[in-house]
Amino acid sequence: MREGMDAITQAWVDAGLQLSKDPTLKITCPECGKGTLVCLDEPTGDPKQSDRYMICSDCRKWNKVTIDNPVN
């Protein structure tokens, strides 16, 4: 076994990078390969940042990425 991220973890990281820029992108779930990841933003308590949850529409597996709030 080689150290490092497995393919599923890598796919979540890639999804997080894409969805942190554009939450409307349709990204296939890294876990089941069937569902689409749906984004839900939650405040973190820090006004500059939010947690963006990425939830599969099919298997309900999820992950989150911290995003910078838009500056008004």
CA distances from 6 to 3, 28, 31 (A): 9, 17, 12
Q: What whole-number distance in Å separates Cα of residue 62 and Cα of residue 37?
A: 8
In this complex, which beta carbon is closest to Zn ion, that of residue 26 or of residue 48?
Answer: 26
Tokens of 58: 């099919």
- Listed ranges 3-11, 18-26, 41-49, 57-65: which one lies at the site for Zn ion (CB under 5 A): 57-65
Window 24-53: contact mask with Zn ion (x via CB under 5 A): -----x-xx--x------------------
Query: Which CB, 29 or 67, lies closer to Zn ion?
Result: 29
Question: Which residues contact Zn ion (rule: CB under 5 A)?
Answer: 29, 31-32, 35, 56, 58-59
